[in-house]
A and B are shown apart, each in its own frame.
Chain A
Amino acid sequence: MSGYIEGILVILLLNIVFAYAVYWPLAAGQLNLGVAGFVGIGAYASAYASNEYGVPPYLASLGAALVTFAAAIIIAVPVLRTRGIYLALATFAFGQVLHSLFLNLDVVGGAAGYPVNAYIGIGGIATCALGVFLVTLFLDRTRFGLNMVAVHHDNAVSDLFGINVRLYQTLAFAIGAGIAGLGGGLYGHHFSYIEPQNYTILFSIFVVLFVLLGGTQTVFGPLLGAIFFTLLPEALRASEEWRYAIFAVLIIGTMILRPQGLFTVHEIRIFRRLFDRGTPPGRAHG
């Protein structure tokens, strides 16, 4: 595999992981604009663990996922008291505060950045990305996933049908954060260097945008969004600046024409009909 292709694949796999970090809260109706902050926590925590205590990089990354998951549960208490625009703003502010903390944490290099000694190759990243996708896919097919859709769509009715709305919202927020932490750990250990400038609001905005471009009605939307975002500019051979401009036009157009994103329940049903004729009633899943 040429270095060029491997480089793109790594970016693609990491973008897939970040996509699901944003997808989970969105699946419960929360727009998390602070995902970069969670990625940063994961990156710094795992790098510190592997640098200072010699924790194996994979273990450190998985540990980072647990740390961010736990941190998010604590943060969710005040953050989820807000909703709608206020929730988006609270996560935004939270991300900004974390960014400035990273800038000032001298123990991990502050603004100068932090080198990471241990290394995770493309194989490890691919395994983790696949794992994240499969776990998300599985959970979506369970009652947990079904109830998550219900909570997103209608809090009041979900509550009356016995769904603990607050618990589901907290878990969606925390699972997303955990995935972000894992992605951060993988990122740091692959590129061997992390710096606060990686984890800005623009990072969060880009991930949110490509996830919504793909669509959040199904678990395949974020995957498609990440592929689109990573590979389309390569295919177009566009320069760095033009690729973002093109992407921006794409997202604006998508929101006008198909606000549910490119890949929705409708497409799944078309595929199903193509491959699975003669479906008995009650077998069509969304």
Chain B
Amino acid sequence: MLEQQLINGLMLGGIYVLVAVAFTLTIGILNFLNFSIPGVFMLAGVFTWVLLKAGVHWSLAVAGALAVGAAASLLVERCTYSWMRSSDHYVPLVSSMGFLILFENLVLVQWGSDLQRVVLPFSDLNIRYASLVVSIPQLLSLTLAVCLVVALRALLLKTQMGRALRAVAENATTAEILGVGVTRLVPAVFIIGGLFAALGGMLFALNYQQVHPYMGEEVALKGISAMVIGGMGNVWGAVLGGLLIGLTEVLSIHFFNADFVDFFVYGLLLVILFFKPTGLLGASKIVQEKF
């Protein structure tokens, strides 16, 4: 049924939005494609499961998973971005890939590669309207995603920190000369990005009730596509891209089959890269030239 598929697509898109925002933050502000985000996403999901399984109250499990994500992201910042300034453009990208592999394999060593079922502390919570089913956790995560994006926009536009971040995005060297504390801002960017990715991973674990070491690749790599399709560095672009990818995915399943998902999602990414690399909500020319 197509209506149900569209709803599912939007719900799935909410998760992509969170991951795409995580990507777009480090790209837009620091010009750094952070490939460790799938790893952070997965860590948060897995820790949600671990903590719930250990009998921790769900609110503490959520907080714990977010904290793990933020800490992992900060670790990545300490070991990649702080060293990147004088190197070839792909060096931080490569280090962040190293972290993706590290995170995945540490989880693999600890908990194995099996798909683990997340047992929710609450019973089935679905809203039924006519024949349509909307799960409350899913609805909650989509709402949360949009609210957080609005909050992030406000942070970037209204606060002192936001102004400083936009100055760094424009030109890090100039910003530093003008007295912006770049060295203190960069960790903040990673922590915020890490929290978004972690939230995505946690919500994925709760919504789909399963986690495994490679869950980040499937979801977060689509987050990259969402970011590019919407427009790199543009927060609303991440939202649009995330929802579009979610819809593309369920529609490919609806009209073809599950094996065609990647074909259409990444095909869409290729088409955008070739014909409008600045994305649908294309960022300004100046931002584009930074890459």
Direct A–B contact in the complex, CB atoms closer than 8 angstroms:
yes
Interface residues, chain A, CB within 8 Å of chain B?
31, 78, 81-86, 88-90, 92-94, 96-97, 99-101, 103-104, 110-111, 201-202, 205-206, 208-209, 212, 239, 241-242, 244-245, 247-249, 251-252, 255-256, 259
Contact B109 A94 (CB under 8 A): no
Query: Which chain B residues border A201 with CB–CB below 8 Å?
Result: 217, 221
Query: Which chain A residues border B224 with CB–CB below 8 Å?
Result: 89, 92
- By beta carbon, the residue of chain A nearest B78 is A256
State whether A89 and B33 are in contact (beta carbons under 8 Å apart), knowing that A255-B91, A256-B79 are contacts in the complex: yes
Minimum CB–CB distance from B274 to chain A (whole Å) comes to 4
Count of CB-CB pairs between chains A and B under 8 Å: 129
Chain A binding surface SS class: helix
Contact A82 B109 (CB under 8 A): no
Contact B101 A205 (CB under 8 A): yes
Contact B98 A245 (CB under 8 A): no
By Cβ-Cβ distance, the 10 closest A-B pairs, closest first, are A248-B102, A100-B262, A96-B266, A100-B263, A245-B105, A251-B98, A248-B101, A93-B269, A259-B87, A252-B98
Minimum CB–CB distance from A76 to chain B (whole Å) comes to 12
Contact A88 B228 (CB under 8 A): no
Contact A255 B94 (CB under 8 A): yes
Cα distance A245–B39 in the bound complex, in angstroms = 13
Contact B83 A255 (CB under 8 A): yes
Q: List 28 A-B contacts (CB under 8 A).
A: A78-B270, A85-B31, A86-B291, A89-B33, A92-B221, A93-B270, A96-B269, A97-B266, A100-B263, A100-B266, A101-B263, A104-B260, A104-B263, A201-B221, A202-B217, A205-B100, A209-B97, A209-B98, A209-B101, A212-B90, A241-B109, A244-B101, A249-B102, A251-B95, A252-B99, A255-B80, A255-B91, A256-B83
Partner of B273, one of A86, A96, A206, A248: A86
Contact A212 B94 (CB under 8 A): yes
Q: Does B137 contact A (CB under 8 A)?
A: no
State whether A88 and B106 are in contact (beta carbons under 8 Å apart), knowing that A97-B267, A201-B217, A252-B79 are contacts in the complex: no
- By beta carbon, the residue of chain A nearest B228 is A89
Q: Which of B65-102 contact A (CB under 8 A)?
A: 79-80, 83, 87-95, 97-102
Cα distance A212–B93 in the bound complex, in angstroms = 11
Contact A242 B259 (CB under 8 A): no
Partner of B105, one of A212, A242, A259: A242
- By beta carbon, the residue of chain A nearest B102 is A248
Contact A103 B101 (CB under 8 A): no
- By beta carbon, the residue of chain B nearest A31 is B90
Contact B101 A247 (CB under 8 A): yes
Partner of A242, one of B87, B109, B225: B109
Cα distance A78–B267 in the bound complex, in angstroms = 13
* Inter-chain pairs besides A84-B89, A93-B266, A94-B270, 6 sampled, C-beta below 8 Å: A88-B93, A93-B270, A96-B262, A209-B101, A212-B90, A255-B95
Cα distance A201–B38 in the bound complex, in angstroms = 13
Contact A111 B259 (CB under 8 A): yes
Query: Which chain B residues border A212 with CB–CB below 8 Å?
Result: 90, 94
Q: Does B161 contact A (CB under 8 A)?
A: no
Partner of B259, one of A97, A100, A244, A252: A100
Minimum CB–CB distance from B25 to chain A (whole Å) comes to 15
Query: Which chain B residues border A88 with CB–CB below 8 Å?
Result: 33, 90, 93
Contact A93 B225 (CB under 8 A): yes
Q: Which of B115-151 contact A (CB under 8 A)?
A: none
- By beta carbon, the residue of chain A nearest B278 is A86
Partner of A85, one of B27, B105, B263: B27
Cα distance A90–B260 in the bound complex, in angstroms = 19
- By beta carbon, the residue of chain A nearest B32 is A85
Q: Does B187 contact A (CB under 8 A)?
A: no
Cα distance A63–B228 in the bound complex, in angstroms = 36
Query: Which chain B residues border A259 with CB–CB below 8 Å?
Result: 83, 87-88, 91
Cα distance A78–B277 in the bound complex, in angstroms = 11
